[in-house]
Amino acid sequence: MPKRFFVKSYGCQMNVYDSARMGDLLRSGGHVETSDPATADVVILNTCHIRERATEKIFSELGRLRETKLARAALGHETQIVVAGCVAQAEGAEIVSRQPAVDIVVGPQAYHRLPALLARGPGEGAAVELDLAAADKFATLPLPVRADIRSRGVAAFVTVQEGCDKFCSFCVVPYTRGAEMSREVAAVIGEIENLSRAGVREITLIGQNVNAYHGAGPDGRTWSLGRLLARVAAVEGIARLRYTTSHPLDMDDELITAHREIAELMPYLHLPVQSGSDRVLAKMNRRHAAADYLRLIEKVRRERPDIALSSDFIVGFPGETRGDFEATLALVREVGYASSFSFKYSPRPGTPSADWAEQVADEVKAERLAILQALLEEQRQAFNRSMVGRTLDVLFDKPGRHPGQIGGKSPYLQAVHVERRDAVIGEIRPVLITSVGPNSLTGRLVEARAA
Ligand code: 5AD
Ligand code: SF4
């Protein structure tokens, strides 16, 4: 009987992508996927280390998996537990000391070695593989087969850049994902052509710092993200493009004008600012002021006036005063976001700011987070309400919430539900938006675009 594997992904979209590639790798070796960890011979947790809570969740999950492993062992079945991703990279062998049921610890740049690690016999002890040379990984991974891509849907992520050299003082990424590196243009295009042939219509190019992309082009030059986007847009069958996540310092003019020039590039930009206070931004080592960010947003809006904006925010960074926090609220009011992510500052071991003396009390962080989130939620709802009466192109990607409905995404990344009629998954059709719920829009199919 083929071995069954189960993969669970935590954290960001880079992990979702890596989990899919680990799945391809195991399937190419004859494993089959299961959605039930209790029946899996191989259980992979693809972990996130970005905030403390994310890490603690992994250890409670590992505790539960240990029970499953023991129960299966009593019935004569072996279970291999794999910890992959950023907790693996950051904690390494410590994970096995804390939870001895773990068999394999594999970092985000080393998971192409999984088959060899899984083939080790029992009694060889736990394996820890944390090499950070990412170039090997992409060259070695098998391309997914068509049936596997189909099961992933009509919108796919493609990692084009990994790692980060920015060293924001709160962030573990430069340590867990290593130095910044970009994949070659030809490899990226090959992967996207393959996805397109299997029915994918929308591509999101992803990277920890995707707009720092500087990959080797087929012409021997270094290509920027703007140039890469133009090339991806030319791939037959690809109707929509997105990219995430970006740093303000790397928003070059080519990328900004791409928002006007490339029709396939969707009017949505996730551009994290973290804080609206210059003092905090400097201590975070973001290397720009709030006014620089606002100027950037203005520039992007000149190219693409309807662009939907989103950001990440951290409240309660060490030394953040009430005044600093007010500056963040002021920036949010000035920009007007379509959606956002916001977090309480979490000291991460090994990052500079974790050891600073002026840590903010948890109650203060919680209070500020609640105020910020209320404002962001208000803006999100206002943005969604502004869609009523408009006709939006919707890419249908799944059955709807109710029978007879079909669901999809607007250009602004909003979930949209309509009566299905003749619409099918994978199609892009104009939809007149008729009402707005807390988390999605409702509309009806129109035959032609409104003038
Ligand atoms: N504490 C809180 N939030 C963090 N992020 C990154 N590191 C931390 C931390 N130590 C947030 C940032 C980043 C997002 C992915 O996670 O806002 O943009
Ligand atoms: Fe972390 Fe800053 Fe790099 Fe983003 S840019 S991954 S927040 S160090």
Reported as a single tens digit per residue, the pLDDT across 279-319 is 999 999 999 999 999 999 999 999 999 999 999 999 999 99
Atom 12 of ligand 1, residue of closest alpha carbon? 312
3-state DSSP percent of the chain in helix, strand and coil, to 5: 40, 20, 40
* pLDDT given at position 5: 97
What length is written for the chain? 451
CA of 43 to the centre of ligand 2 (A): 29
* pLDDT given at position 112: 94
Mean pLDDT of 387-391: 98
Concatenated DSSP letters of 69-119: HHHHHHTT---EEEEEHHHHHHHTTHHHHH-TT--EEE-TT-GGGHHHHHT
Per-residue pLDDT tens over the stretch 82-139: 999 999 999 999 999 999 999 999 999 999 999 999 998 767 889 999 988 766 788 8
* 449 pLDDT above the threshold of 70: no
344-359 burial, b for 16+ CB within 10 Å, e for fewer? bbbebeebbbbeeeeb
Atom 18 of ligand 1, residue of closest alpha carbon? 312
Q: Which atom of ligand 1 is nearest to the CA of 341?
A: 17
* 274 pLDDT above the threshold of 90: yes
* pLDDT given at position 26: 95
* pLDDT given at position 133: 75
User: In the sheet where 202-206 sits, what is the strand order?
Assistant: 155-159, 202-206, 240-244
> Lowest mean pLDDT: which of 80-89, 117-126, 146-155, 431-440?
146-155
Tell me the whole-structure pTM to 2 decimals: 0.93
Mean pLDDT of 369-379: 98
- Determine whether the shortest distance from the Cβ of 339 to ligand 2 is under 6 A: no
* Percent residues over pLDDT 70 in the chain: 98
* 398 pLDDT above the threshold of 50: yes
- Determine whether the shortest distance from the Cβ of 117 to ligand 2 is under 6 A: no
* pLDDT given at position 52: 86
- Looking at every residue in the chain, the average pLDDT score rounds to 94
271: nearest Cα among 222, 219, 335: 335
* 356 pLDDT above the threshold of 60: yes
* Ligand found nearest the CA of 345: 1
- Determine whether the shortest distance from the Cβ of 231 to ligand 2 is under 6 A: no
